[in-house]
Amino acid sequence: MGFPEQYMEIALTEARLAAERGEVPIGAVLVDSDGRIIARNGNRTIELCDPGAHAEMLVLRQAGRVQGNYRLPGTTLYVTLEPCVMCAGALVHARVSRLIYGAIDPKAGGVVSLFQVGQDTRLNHLLDVEGGLLEAESAALLKNFFRERRNGVVTK
């Protein structure tokens, strides 16, 4: 069993691996109620030619297979960037209990920035949401990745 910072560090490692593959550096880790890591991954939208292959979606899919159930109650998702609407909706459908993210996403955030999918009482499940864990590291990873892209530096 680890501490929240340790899980977010693992998510950051997954984000760095995604960047090395030429993907937007976002990483996610899903942990059960005993603190065991069920699944971890980073973005793979380019690699898989799949617009739904966000880190969160890949982790939820993997965890569903591992657990033998598409419902994942009692779990906590650690992700380096505030999830988009698609991912936030999947977290609600999977009944993930808690979401902890690093940086906010003012352009596409589905949890606090633009939309509040996990907090909407019209939905059948609410997420316990906490943001800002290792926010500076998460934001810097994204800023550096996009700065390098703008300057013509391409990893992969």
Residues marked as catalytic? 56
Q: Render 14-45 in DSSP notation, one character per residue.
A: HHHHHHHTTS---EEEEE-TTS-EEEEEE--H
Q: By three-state DSSP, how is residue 94 classified?
A: helix
Work out the number of other CB atoms within 10 angstroms of the CB of residue 12. 22
- Rounded to whole angstroms, the Cα distance separating 108 from 103 reads 12
Q: State the residue for tokens 């505030």.
A: 82
